[in-house]
Structure 1
Amino acid sequence: MAVRELSPKSSISLQIMEDIAPGGDVFAIVQPLAAPRRVVSGAAGADPEAAVIVEADEGTDIAPLLARAEAKQVADLGGGLYAAIVPVKKASIVYEHANVRFVEAQKQKRTMLEKALVDGMVGLPSSRKVAGRGDGVVVGIIDSGFDLSHPAFRDGNNKLRVDALLEQKFNGTTFSAREFSTAQLEAGWNTGGNRPGFDEDGHGTHVASIAAGSPFNAVSGVAPDARFVLVKTDFIRLAEATKWCFDKADGRPAVVNMSLGGHHGAHDGASAEERALDRLSGPGRIVVLAAGNERIDNIHVGARLAEGQTETATLDMSTEEGGITIVCWYGNKDRFDVSLVSPSGTVMAAPGMNREAKFNANGARVTIGRTAQTRHKSVEVLIDARIKSSTDLSDFKGWKLRVTCTKAEPGRFDAWITGNGRFRDGAFVESARTIGLPATATRVIAVASHVTKNAWRSDDGPQTAPAAVVGRSSRFSSRGPTRDGREKPEISAPGEMITAALAAGSEEAENSERAGTPTRTLTIEGTSMATPFVSGVIALMLERRHQLDPEGVVAALQATAVKDAHTGPTNWTPEYGHGKISAQALVNHVNQMAPSAVVVTAAGSLLADVGQAYARPAAAPQAKRVGSGGKKKTGVARKAKKKR
């Protein structure tokens, strides 16, 4: 076992990236799903870079420091928070500086209408029940990409309704970003063009069309007259993407949608990324995030332990993604002994405070670090297990996370698996507190999913999902509250089974059980689909009240949420938040307020794929094919399994 000191001024993940020997996988610790696109630190070419958020003393000029660390793509997020790209080997130059409070490596996230429009009280294009269409409002979508040839993105004159598109890229070593204007997008999406922002996955096209798609095939998005600003994201630099969206709105009211998330963090709203999103939110600037799809995935263990009590959770790792990371958190007044036990019985104990230990067991390289996190008022124990090559894959079943409480004030312990692994059923496994980051931020709106449809038509004919009970919370929809006890999600919206735009040539288009090729539609489910429904409704609210702030949105959601036999009468539940959304009631509620003035100006210019999209897998196990039809494709099913 090798032990070294850790700095309390940097995330454990960033320091492990610095410490990985040549030939190791530098990015596995923050990108557990990037296996097909990873490069190792010993590979030829540029030094690996890390996307970070730097928290400095407010008012301090850290530009010279960042220049000395060779940082690039620096973005001032406000309040002393700066996003930047830094070479991994120079990260310590930043976090060791006296005026820097903390440096956090940004973590990878994943991508997680007709019936939905009716049940959400919007109405079909021919019979809308709600006033307004989003005119003068900007809808930002940060997602996997977009099929801009689809009629959902074009007006009645076949002109793009997109003011700008930002394409973030990560090639396994370095980060880049490029902006495209409307004119460049029109040219790029002409026949033979380079199709900027192309949606290889299909998730982003579907999401965007739900929020604000133009009418097609007798349906439309919730706010079909809003303008789009779009980000094809690397699923890492979310705060920078959000700032770009609000900047491009250029004074117009805007709502930014992120149907994605992850679990690499404290789930308490105090991470640098979450606080950056809180600061970017404000009057006329609303951020909406998917709550997550992990309720039944056994990715979380948690409980209050008494002094002397030991709990053990058995876990299995998938070998497809090269390993897993377990992030453990407990209050700074508590004391816990934490160990990972291999199937052969090797006990790998977490070291003391601000230390990191390395082990080898059962074909895995295991790194365990422990640091006190002042801004979280908590202690983090991070366990990273990487599978060595030529290893007996059976060795990755039956590992154990063993936790003993040695001081309880109050003795609460929580841990989440990131990457493709799961805890086996047991008393320590908890479906509560499975809201993903950054939906646990304080000022963002977190959206849960409920069922509004369980039958649809596809290329394979009629389909049904008999386990999806109409009106009930979706079985996958993550449950609140946050780790620090706040009421998340705020609202539930239609998320299963949602028919919206299909991206031509995408992986989703290969799933004949879900794709409707002649109508250019796709039917999938997830909090990913519920979230843009809410974003679209908020666009309608902003159309009337331009300066509505996040607190005003939450108050309106709380005042108008629908209660029924499924939600129960209580003000808030872990499954539904304050209840089910009613667009009609929300817009009527806002219409009772005095409208505010806004200056609508032209969009400005830019100054100087990996991911969990919160869509459930396209070939979901509960979907049952009942009709005959075309031959079922298998490519998406393989990809969907990887995305879980």
Structure 2
Amino acid sequence: MALGVVVVRGRFAERLPPGSAEVARALPGFVQVDRSAAPVLHVKAGLDARALATESSRAPLERELVGIGVQIQGRVGEIASLRVPAAALEALARLPEIAWLKASHAYRVLNEISTSSAQIGSDQANTTFTKGAGVIVAMVDTGIQWTDHDFRNADGTTRILGIWDQTLTDPVHPPPAGFSFGAYYPRGDIDAALAAGGSLLTGDGHGHGTHVTGTAAGNGLETGNGVPAGTFAGVAPEADLLAVRVFDDSGTFCANCDLTAAVQFISQTAAAAGKPWAGNMSLGTDIGAHDGTDPDERSIDAAVGPGRRGAQMAIAAGNSGNRDRSSHPNHWEGPLPASGSSVSDTFNLTYTPNSGSDNDHVWLDVWYKGADSATVSMISPTGITVSAARGADSGIVCSADGAIQVDATNGPDPLNGD
């Protein structure tokens, strides 16, 4: 995460003070930042294992974080999710218990389309396995339509143990115990609303989460149009359900939403119930290394990794493979070069300029091995080329197209060295 940024105004560059509000607001859109007058950044932190060893060793760190205005949103293993006022970022980085910091990023829903050729064989699974009885199926998605009969028992009561809606604040439903944001709807409140024909603020106006949950664990009782109830059941129709909502009705990952906290909540809820759990995240992003070192990936590993029986998380994958250059011109694809050789590619960036001046920034997320090198060149509409190799800054080049600068000064990623 860069602590400083160069902002171009005409022919001049001004180095802004690290941690300033203007720096935070200038971060790219995929970074989770509350861009208000006093910006708050969502940050993943690697914590020193010695600071987590015992309750007495954790307490001083928690006091230090509170003292500088930092709020812990969730923690799994050595990975913590933090809400950090921009003014406190440098103080946080100086704490000896902090091994590294990375900006949190947003996600998008995946597995948007089901086709007849993508059958999962739930009918065979239901006759071969135990139908999920005694297991919790947990979904991290756009929410769940809790009134749907597929998610109820035969007597009309809910199969849902609880819904943590991270996207909203509900004065009647506080966050789950141990968490500081969102609204939690326990099974008892869902049953009460069903019995009274009432309503809850949470739901699934998008539909993706309900669709995925039905595929995984619907019992088929919502079946209509003359088809016998139970005909179209999911893989685990007798499982208990748990839902964490991290997308709003438009499918946008909410500003406060956090996957590390979601994994912590699922793991703790299952442990309290004394049941194994199988989770699903049909979501993803093109941002990051995609090699298992991302903080959210490491959070999942800490919850379901070796030695942790009765815990599993499935992740959707593959949708971006259809993002060919003809329909997504900003999505790069090409052959991997052999060792000792090089590869180059040129493509046109498409974007809508911002109103005003000196505020059009293009962010490229390019990953390659730390031992390799890369050079990024920007060619303006009139043919002016500005280049910078890894670790370099081109400086400002003034042209008829405006001031152009290529900043490739980001250092190696602290988690994989690439």
TM-score (norm 1): 0.48
Contact residue 281 and residue 316 of structure 2 kept, 8 A: yes
Work out whether 1:28 is the aligned partner of 2:29: yes
- Structure 1 counterpart of 2:138, from 132, 137, 140: 140
1:56 match: 47
2:376 match: 338
What is the Cα deviation at residue 263 of structure 1? 1.6
Work out whether 1:154 is the aligned partner of 2:152: yes
Evaluate the alpha carbon distance shift between residue 66 and residue 23 of structure 1 in structure 2; reply closer, same or farther with a 3 A threshold.
closer
What is the Cα deviation at residue 198 of structure 1? 1.2
What is the Cα deviation at residue 40 of structure 1? 4.3
Evaluate the alpha carbon distance shift between residue 371 and residue 364 of structure 1 in structure 2; reply closer, same or farther with a 3 A threshold.
same
Q: Deviations over 1:490-549 (max 9, x none)?
A: xxxxxxxxxxxxxxxxxxxxxxxxxxxxxxxxxxxxxxxxxxxxxxxxxxxxxxxxxxxx
What is the Cα deviation at residue 300 of structure 1? 3.4
What is the distance in 2 between the residues matched to 1:200 and 1:364? 44
Q: Secondary structure at the match of 1:129?
A: helix
What is the Cα deviation at residue 294 of structure 1? 1.1
Q: Which runs of 5+ in 2 are unaligned?
A: 7-15, 52-57, 170-179, 224-230, 248-252, 325-330, 355-359
Which aligned pairs between 1:416-455 and structure 2 lie closer than 5 A?
Answer: none
Work out whether 1:237 is the aligned partner of 2:228: no
Work out whether 1:211 is the aligned partner of 2:237: no
Evaluate the alpha carbon distance shift between residue 370 and residue 185 of structure 1 in structure 2; reply closer, same or farther with a 3 A threshold.
same
What is the Cα deviation at residue 345 of structure 1? 3.1
- Structure 2 counterpart of 1:223, from 232, 236, 240: 236
Q: Deviations over 1:465-497 (max 9, x none)?
A: xxxxxxxxxxxxxxxxxxxxxxxxxxxxxxxxx
- Structure 2 counterpart of 1:185, from 190, 210, 233: 190
Evaluate the alpha carbon distance shift between residue 360 and residue 207 of structure 1 in structure 2; reply closer, same or farther with a 3 A threshold.
farther
What is the Cα deviation at residue 287 of structure 1? 0.7
For 1:52, the aligned partner's letter is V
Q: Secondary structure at the match of 1:375?
A: coil
What is the distance in 2 between the residues matched to 1:320 and 1:131? 55
Q: Deviations over 1:67-109 (max 9, x none)?
A: 233122443311x322222223322222233332211112111
Work out whether 1:247 is the aligned partner of 2:280: no
1:284 match: 310
Contact residue 114 and residue 219 of structure 1 kept, 8 A: no
Q: Which runs of 5+ in 1 are unaligned?
A: 7-14, 32-37, 379-644
1:195 match: 200
What is the distance in 2 between the residues matched to 1:48 and 1:156? 49
Contact residue 161 and residue 228 of structure 1 kept, 8 A: yes
Work out whether 1:373 is the aligned partner of 2:413: yes
What is the Cα deviation at residue 151 of structure 1? 0.8
1:88 match: 86
What is the distance in 1 between the residues matched to 2:118 and 2:35? 50
1:598 match: none
What is the distance in 1 between the residues matched to 2:191 and 2:396? 53
Q: Deviations over 1:338-376 (max 9, x none)?
A: 233333334343466387978898589977342122431
Contact residue 396 and residue 405 of structure 2 kept, 8 A: yes
- Structure 2 counterpart of 1:272, from 288, 291, 295: 295
2:352 match: 319
What is the distance in 2 between the residues matched to 1:325 and 1:209? 38
What is the distance in 1 between the residues matched to 2:246 and 2:17? 25
- Structure 2 counterpart of 1:168, from 166, 188, 191: 166
Q: Secondary structure at the match of 1:176?
A: coil
What is the distance in 2 between the residues matched to 1:99 and 1:163? 36
1:300 match: 332
What is the distance in 2 between the residues matched to 1:90 and 1:292? 38
Q: Deviations over 1:146-178 (max 9, x none)?
A: 11111111110111101111111279xxx9322
Contact residue 110 and residue 260 of structure 1 kept, 8 A: yes
Q: Secondary structure at the match of 2:134?
A: coil
Contact residue 341 and residue 348 of structure 1 kept, 8 A: yes
Which aligned pairs between 1:8-19 and structure 2 lie closer than 5 A?
Answer: 18=19
Worse-matched range after superposition: 285-294 or 365-374: 365-374
2:68 match: 69
Higher relative contact order (CA 8 A, sep 6+): 1
* Count of matched residue positions in the alignment of Structure 1 and Structure 2: 352
Evaluate the alpha carbon distance shift between residue 70 and residue 359 of structure 1 in structure 2; reply closer, same or farther with a 3 A threshold.
farther
What is the distance in 2 between the residues matched to 1:354 and 1:159? 62
Evaluate the alpha carbon distance shift between residue 153 and residue 16 of structure 1 in structure 2; reply closer, same or farther with a 3 A threshold.
farther
For 1:314, the aligned partner's letter is F
What is the Cα deviation at residue 240 of structure 1? 1.2
Evaluate the alpha carbon distance shift between residue 346 and residue 308 of structure 1 in structure 2; reply closer, same or farther with a 3 A threshold.
farther
What is the Cα deviation at residue 265 of structure 1? 0.6
Q: Secondary structure at the match of 1:21?
A: helix
Contact residue 52 and residue 104 of structure 1 kept, 8 A: yes
Evaluate the alpha carbon distance shift between residue 357 and residue 196 of structure 1 in structure 2; reply closer, same or farther with a 3 A threshold.
farther
Contact residue 144 and residue 201 of structure 1 kept, 8 A: yes
- Greater fraction of residues in strand: 1
Worse-matched range after superposition: 353-362 or 56-65: 353-362
What is the distance in 2 between the residues matched to 1:184 and 1:26? 40
What is the distance in 1 between the residues matched to 2:120 and 2:49? 43
What is the distance in 2 between the residues matched to 1:201 and 1:189? 21
For 1:294, the aligned partner's letter is S
Q: Deviations over 1:195-240 (max 9, x none)?
A: 2431121111101111101223231111011000100115451121
Q: Secondary structure at the match of 1:316?
A: coil
Give RMSD over aligned pairs: 3.9
